[in-house]
Structure 1
Amino acid sequence: CAKALREIGSEVPTGVYLPSNPEAILISLDLKSGAPMQSAAKAPYRATFRVQTVGIEQVERCADPDYEFMHDFSTEYSQMAIFKVGDDVRQDILALQLMRLFHNIFEQEGLELYLYTYRVIATSPGCGVIECVPNSRSREDIGRNTEAGLFDYFRHVYGKEDSIKFQKARRNFVISMAAYSVALFLLQIKDRHNGNIMLDDEGHIIHIDFGFMFESSPGGNMRFEPDIKLTAEMILIMGDLTAPAFLWFKELCIKGYLALRPYRQHFITLVALMLDTELPCFRGHTLEQFNARLKPDSSETEAARYMHEVINRCAHSLRTRIYDYIQFQQNKIPY
């Protein structure tokens, strides 16, 4: 990666921009930033750029050879991006489009639920650019630097459990955990090892990499993982299974699930538009299974009870621990 970046050079032509951020001009390339990303089958790499947000109109004006771009150092900042070759990112795009719909509905319904829908752009068949989640670390990265669990990590970063800073981080953790739990269940997103789970500086949990969803899963579509990743260390941040924070988490999950049900036809239509792409997540029964998870024939009370049962059976799931152990043995991903 470093050699390839040196061949490109640190300076970039005026008017160049990242497809994942078309409102910002690229100023320079950090030649020391090239790093291969861990992947079971592919070789994605990450690079860091210095960019300046100027707006789409000014980016377009930069295409004019006579236009003189005014560089403002005060608004320059770093932005990372992941580049994939030989990997179809359209499945990630579909997952994030659906999550964006979920996010908009949550906002419309006045629900305090957090989803970070980062940008993914398919640049050509089998190639794409992925926006890196800013101000965040993967759970894998945290595990490589400390043997402490998430709760101890939270105490180290945010202070004592009764401090305001810790309470704010816990709150952010709960509202993001609830939102992603609903999304993981409805979209059946799998391969939830610790390399695909991020924590930002404010305590939000953020899921990335949606290469397995709907009817596809690792290990030849075994569907081994539970519907939601809800480990002991995640629960410990919220207290325990009877703590107010965990009960609030369950309440938010149920409210989020109920808020999405009336819009099921919108989701089904969006997925149906992608069926002809023959993405690996489509194996013949995607629409009916997706529809069934939204319980169209159930009352609101019955649907709430159903979501409550989903959460209960996923908490402390043995299958989650086994999958994390397999990922550690095969790919050395800490858990």
Structure 2
Amino acid sequence: MVKARKYVVKNYFKGVPKREDFEIVEYDLPPLKDGEILIKTEWISVDPYQRAYNKLSKIPYDQFGLQVGVVKESRNPKFPVGTKVVSHKGWCDYTIAKDGVQASPLDHLYILPDFKGLSPSLAVGALGLIGLTAYAGFLEICKPKAGETVVVTGAAGAVGSLVGQIAKIKGCKVIGFAGSDDKVEWLEKELGFDKALNYKTVDVAKALKEAAPKGVDCYFDNVGGEISSIIINQMNKFGRVSVCGSISSYNEEGSMPKATILQPAIISQNLMIQGFLVSEWRDLMPKVVPELVDWIKSGQLKAAEHVTEGFDNIFNAFVGMLAGENKGKAVVKV
């Protein structure tokens, strides 16, 4: 009998999630049935969508999320003991999974691909759905051309930092917005952004006009809010906007924050604005992951990670990520 621990969400979040909104529950896992495997978790992902989807879930619920683990016991010949696997089983130290059984579009069990020696943790980051979000969300929607100007908000985060680098690989001029001077320096000096701006200290409209005097062609939106309205109102004819998230509003209570209307710019500039869910592009994973691996191995793409250690520290990693403490992907080593 294996004793397992998991985080259970007890409350709907009000503002920033609080420790008392969670309970760590210890329980006995049942014996395996045919087709099932026992997974010992090694890496756990903390992500903005876990905050956004709280209100859409029926409480109490087990905190969902991506994880990487190793098979410790198996009654499925496709997953022998010792196999590294990726799943959406969430914040737990052991779990039972069965191939082909999905509780949600993200609940997909698969064997860790060949990362050519790169860390397995990247399966919940740059070489997993986060990488697919950046790659497909940017390239499939924005369809950038070399020489175009690309703006990324949340540029120092898990997705934004990858989008900016992919845009550089494709020959674009890249401008990123982040929330601290330290992140601005990191984006420019480490990741090669042409310009990075601290949205908390600059006049966004003026600074963007100076950084992109000829206007913006592509905008990858991670944050929403007034900053997005400002950027969209400086876009060129036939500009493309990929809407990935709205983290600026995730901790807001009550009515949604107001922002400058977009319709005049959308109409006059013939803008294309499209939202997406990464699950729509899961079939692209076999094509995308090897390309991302090659970019990382060649040094063209830096897959930055902000690592927290310890199962008991998952909550701290989660709220730290929501507060923007991470540069790159926030992960927890269990």
Q: Return the TM-score normalized by structure 2.
A: 0.25
Higher strand residue share: 2
Q: Return the TM-score normalized by structure 1.
A: 0.24
RCO (CA 8 Å, sep 6+): is it higher in 1 or 2? 2
